[in-house]
With several copies, the nearest count.
Chain A
């Protein structure tokens, strides 16, 4: 069943229930709006070379799409849509020194990897490819695993947040 909000809208015109797509799927897609209603999604085109950083990690999926496996605890704009990649900051920004940590399952090998979600800092928020997923996210009083913190705090560039990376720093055997 469509979400209540969509029902209400549709009802005004059709006065009937529509059964097209699951509410859960719909809401999960809207989660990414938290960090930017009206953000601009990019075409989901695979970027050659985007996986070059860690040849040991088998990869699948589009690193410029929120559904990519590394983004299971992502909350921000994907740097690959801002002039960088999943592991590199766009020109003119700096990498945040400390950040939040998540653990995501790689569908290509079934292993769980430890992901460091470093922010890129020093320019205003990119606004492209907003993505929010909250696996393992904790509240502000447990910041190490919280994606609600502006992790540019403490970086060389201070709090101006631009976009977020997903860097694999460990594997859980």
Chain B
């Protein structure tokens, strides 16, 4: 029964033929991304709470405008650029009936120019659903293997061979979770007692060594947060008690490089502390570590940050404080020579007086339903605020990263 369809097409043709002789009708096209060419593109991505079944990754251009989007299924948290493959890699979960029925987890490879899915690998439906967005999966340096952190609540890691589009194996990681790269074939998970678990794979992706280190931090009094950032072979972490830890992870070797206070005594006194979700990022070439901070109280460690402090990891001295324009949840720095600092922020779309008036008359709680999200972009060298991005459609995301 195609006649309606055809009648519409005929109408279209008829309308087109009404046209003035010199008029050229337009034709609808589909965009591809322009050549990236070092432009400062960035992603905002995540589970879009409370719309977790409609997770997305939003790609933004140098001016903070929407370039495109990926649909990433249920409670998605992982977006990884794979430049050698020309892919964007995501971890996606689907249920046969949206929020019920059979669960399927897939690694999806998108074409990095068309943003269309080109391939998928079905993996065991076990991946960790967490609020945080980073270190839940690691791409090997040669972009051949993807390691996926599981939680069922049994803890394990699935190793996926992206070339063969196949699962290599699943290995148990009891008591340990999240993953950090330590070279081409070595990865470390953090364990509940303050030690680390090494997973060494061979060129076929099979685990050939699984070793637990000594305890490298005090897992009771001074937890590391999982938001680590890598400079060379050292991962920098911050801790719940506001220290910076440098942990060197190089192949089989893991050691504590050092531990330094994030805050001075005076700053601690003034309530300065860690803030937000993805609260560290690093610019590798310059050795600068960026940490999101706030003035708060003991249990406020995931509240939005108001400042980013920049440390020179050669000296561990604070070089800079960058005041945030809005309430910042996550930060990321690009790795080029003129790096940008991207901040994922809550934004109240009211002018100052209206905000103030609502806060005074109705109480600050009244502002909560108004809040939306967008990014702000800063010069990562001098801290200058460059722009605010487009707003996101409603639904909270917590991830930001450079292209």
Contacts and interface: CB of A to CB of B under 8 A. Distances in A.
A36 B373 CA distance: 10
Interface in A48-94: 53-54, 56, 75, 77, 81-85, 87-94
A110 B346 CA distance: 36
Interface string B53-79: 110100100000111111100110000
Contacts of A158: 95, 103, 125
Contacts of A172: 18
Nearest to B151: A153
Contact of A92 (B115, B277, B297): B115
Given A91-B115, A114-B15, A159-B93, A127 B393 contact: yes
Contact of A169 (B12, B277, B300): B12
Contacts of A42: 65-66, 390-391
Contact of A123 (B71, B129, B299, B350): B71
B69 A123 contact: yes
B18 A91 contact: no
Contact of B352 (A9, A123, A128): A9
A105 to B, nearest CB: 13
A37 B371 contact: yes
Contacts of B190: 139, 141
A95 B25 contact: no
Interface in A24-57: 24-43, 53-54, 56
A161 B304 CA distance: 24
A95 B30 contact: yes
A41 B356 CA distance: 20
B152 to A, nearest CB: 6
Interface stretch (B243-251, B258-266, B322-330, B332-340): B322-330
Given A91-B115, A161-B52, A82 B69 contact: yes
B371 A30 contact: yes
Nearest to B23: A171
B355 A170 contact: no
A31 B152 contact: no
Contacts of B4: 143
Interface of B: 4-5, 7-9, 11-12, 15-20, 22-33, 49-54, 56, 59, 65-71, 74-75, 93, 95, 98-100, 103, 110, 113-117, 125, 128-132, 151-153, 175-178, 189-192, 219, 223-226, 271, 277, 294-297, 299-304, 306-307, 323-327, 329, 346, 348, 350-353, 355-356, 359-360, 364-365, 367-374, 390-396, 398
